[in-house]
Structures are given as C-alpha cells and as structure tokens.
Amino acid sequence: MPGPELQSGWLDDVAAVAISGSSPITLAVCQDLHGVQQAREWLQSAIPSLTKAHVEEVPASSLRVRLQAPPSPNGRTIWCVYDAAEGSSEELQARWQEFNLLRDQLTGTLRSHEPRSSLVFLTTVTRMPEISRHAPDLLAVAQVITVSEEPFVVDPRDTLMVDSFRQASSELEARYGLSTSELARRLLDREPTGVPEPDLSRWRSLAGALREVLE
C-alpha cells in the first residue's frame, strides 16, 4: 500500500526533490553518520552540476538565524542542515521541537524566495523515531527519503511515531475526501486518483511506512 512523504531512494532522488521544489523540506534518512557525511559531500557537488543552484550548509543551531537573513544574491539555494541527527537525546529533542515550532516559518520563508529555496535535513535511521516524536508537524509537510535499498517502516510498537504518521495521512484523507485504502485500490487498478503531485507521492510514502501497522 502507499504511505510523511516517505519513500526509499538514492541521493539523486534527494537532489531531484530539492531541485524540483515539489516539497520545500526534505529529510534524507541515511544509514549512519558516515552516510550523512557522504550525502553532504555528494549534494555539494551534484546539485550545482544538475541545475543553476548552490548548496548552503547551515548548522542546526543557526537555522533560526538563517531564516531571518535575506535570500542569497547567488540565485536559488538548497539549504543543507548536515548535523540534524547529531548530539545526545536531550539535544536532539530540543533541536527538533524547535524545528517543529518553526514549521510554518520555514515553509513560508522557503516559498517566498525568488527563485524558491528548499531545505534538506540529513538524518539517520536510528534517530528517526526520536525525530518523529519531537517534530510530527514538520514531518507532516516534509518529503522523507530513506537513502537505502530498504524502505523505512514504522515499528507498530512505537505508538507515538505511528500517531504522527497517521496524523499526516489523516490530513491528506480529509483534504481529498479519500481513504488511504481507496487510494491504494485506485492506484492498483490504475484508476485516476484526483490527487496531484507532490501530495500523491507523500501519501504513497506514508502508507508504505505504515504498512506493518495497516496489515
């Protein structure tokens, strides 16, 4: 079945979403901190070669300040928060609770830039349960891409995480007057869904992440 905008992919998928602007905020979920470093280096070299954009690295502690700064005069910018998954559990909680509160300001700022900017958080699989608990509202509007051959799956025992993903699905169901199961049926039968991208992609990813809960 389909399932925050969640999908399994590669670093080029992360770059494609960031460049397209289909979602202003992307979480690239890497296997570990070594994978985060690889993603950081890859995005720095790949994005400028794919489009007229540049990558601006922003430490997590400076994101609020960066929001208040004027747009870059160098054209389209992809902000990359490379240390979003680092630190103790207490540090991670404080950081992502702040990001969660900044959700509307973040999306508004990114969309107000001309040309539009986008934001990529580099995270890890092991920190995603904590991030999901502390930033459910942010995840509800973000594209989450697991940089792995295996798609991300929510642990049914993690009730807080299940609730945050269900909240995002429920918002889409209410928006389009369609249940997730009916969306899955239409996709399976190749019928029109009436759901435009990127919401269709978000919805499919959410359902995919919840597949062990929905089974």
Domains of the chain: which residue ranges? 5-214
- Maximum CA pair distance of the chain? 50
Which residue carries 């399994």 as its tokens?
8
Using pLDDT thresholds of 50, 70 and 90, give the confidence band for residue 214.
low
Give me 206's structure tokens: 């959410």
Encode 151-187: b = buried (16+ Cβ within 10 Å), e = exposed: bbbbeeebeebbebbbebbebbbeebebebeebbebb
206 close to 3: Cβ distance less than 8 angstroms: yes
Q: What is the four-CA torsion angle of 130, 133, 137, 141, rounded to 10 degrees?
A: 50
64 close to 29: Cβ distance less than 8 angstroms: no
- Distance of alpha carbon 202 from alpha carbon 112, whole angstroms: 22
pLDDT at 120: 96
- Range with the largest mean pLDDT of 47-51, 133-137, 200-204: 133-137
**pTM attached to this predicted model:** 0.67
Query: What are 39-88's pLDDT values in tens digits?
Result: 888 888 778 866 778 899 999 999 999 888 877 777 788 999 999 999 99
Flag the least confident range among 7-16, 108-117, 175-184.
Answer: 7-16
Give me 17's structure tokens: 């979403």
Residue 215 pLDDT exceeds 80: no
The CATH class for the domain spanning 5-214 reads: alpha beta
Query: What are 33-42's pLDDT values in tens digits?
Result: 988 998 888 8
Residue 158 pLDDT exceeds 50: yes
Give me 55's structure tokens: 């990558």
Smallest CA-to-CA distance from 6 within 182, 206, 213, 193 is with: 206
Smallest CA-to-CA distance from 146 within 3, 8, 1 is with: 8
At 210, phi and psi to the nearest 5?
A: -95, 10
> What is the average pLDDT value for the chain, to the nearest integer?
83
Residues 6+ apart with CB under 8 A from 191: 185
